[in-house]
Structure 1
Amino acid sequence: MVDLLDDERLDYLLAEDLRIIQSPAVFAFSLDTVLLARFVYVPIQKGNLIDLCTGNGVIPLLLSTRSKAQIKGVEIQERIFNMAQRSVEYNKLSEQIELIHGDIKDMPEKLGHGKFDVVTCNPPYFPTPSDRESEMNNNEHLAIARHEIYCTLEDVVRVSSQLVKQGGKVAFVHRPGRLLDIVTLMRMYKLEPKRLQFVYPKVGKEANTLLIEGIKDGNPDLKILPPLYVYNEKGEYTKELHSILYGDK
């Protein structure tokens, strides 16, 4: 059993034999987050992984199905952190997943530099507007998740570089419009981009998501992966996307 608060619900986590606490008013995971969890390289047997801006813990939960490594997740919002913590406990994954309530900018000092084999992050996508009241969501939880209120893109890249080992991997999901910013910052902080994939709503539409993975102190050699389309001409998930979300069942 699990205690649910207010409008929280206990959802199945895609094809996995896992459940996750969600709330439309506080936090619910997005397709972007799932794609990042499926995209990133992870060691199968052992290692140390960390997910920054972890939200309700969806990436650590999904990574636990791909790896036996130890996984940490960092979330600054106490309410959302609490949702993630209860989900981990419900799924009996407390021995593998540790959640930290705190600011990602404090993690290198708290956890140590170069301690992780893999770092992931689905960061806030939008800069904080000058007129915060009129241009941001009035829901504080959603505004913090979507806007760079507590951490900027540079904060995310810098912290990821500090946390990851030399030769370790860092992966982000973001908007294509920030591609040049992301690549510039990754190289500034010695994260060499190695894999890049664009996600399109459907054939004929512009890309609306990018997935990128880099290696700490890696050699230049960027591979552009085939495009990923979400929907087919019938408005249904493509076979590739369905396989990513639900496996081959």
Structure 2
Amino acid sequence: MKVSVIITTYNSEEWLSKVLEGYCNQTENDFEVVVADDGSTSKTKDVIDSFQSKFKFPIVHVWQEDNGFQKCKILNKAILKTNSDYLLFTDGDCIPRKDFVQQHLKFQEKGYFLSGGYFKLPMETSNTISFEDIKLQNCFSTSWLIKNGVKKSFKLTKLTHNKFFAIFMNWITPTKKTFNGHNTSCFKSDLIAVNGFNEEMQYGGLDREVGERLFNFGILAKQIRYQAICLHLDHKRGYATKETWEKNFAIRAYNKKHNITAIEKGISQYL
């Protein structure tokens, strides 16, 4: 297979269903889905089982006990369960446009990771989107979104289908090319070289920290936020605290200052 799509989730069955439906309707089907499950109940397994027959390859469900926010830990475990040399990271609240996987494969290049973004939806629109809207790609239409609760704004240009405009917007955007857990792809070997995700970190910049270590390792980044499109469904973030943000910022600052590539508490624990 060409790529392993790693989707993180935690007790969010309705949103995960919509995301998996998005992957059922891709223009590229030579990929596997790996669900990195940070301790969800059996309801999440039921959702995954209901989608098993809809993909070319079986969905890999990597689960760990619920012991608080341990996203880095489940991601490291999930990486080692993948069956491809190329990995695409996203979240269980991000519905991919039909060309999402295709775009990541189109722009992959040795020595780089790809940095994508998302279009954030309000709760009203998130709830409104149906499987049919995903199949027909209604939810990626700016007119449909505006009719269903999204305010008109320049951000809607992220949903452009014009490839020349997308290239131009990627070139002029002030947004940095960062490793984003909701929309980034890279080579597995590069991640293993920097020892994967840092399990010292909880919510708040944990994905960007990986990208910063990849930069230290000599890997560059490409901006594809206007080409690889996904819709971010709304949700609460009860796991975000000031303390974890401060701790994570300190880790990132230290790694940047000392040009750290491989951290101690990473994927090597499971090799």
Higher relative contact order (CA 8 A, sep 6+): 2
Do they fold alike, i.e. is TM over 0.5?
no
TM-score, structure 1 as length reference: 0.30
Structure with the higher strand share, 1 or 2: 1
TM-score, structure 2 as length reference: 0.29
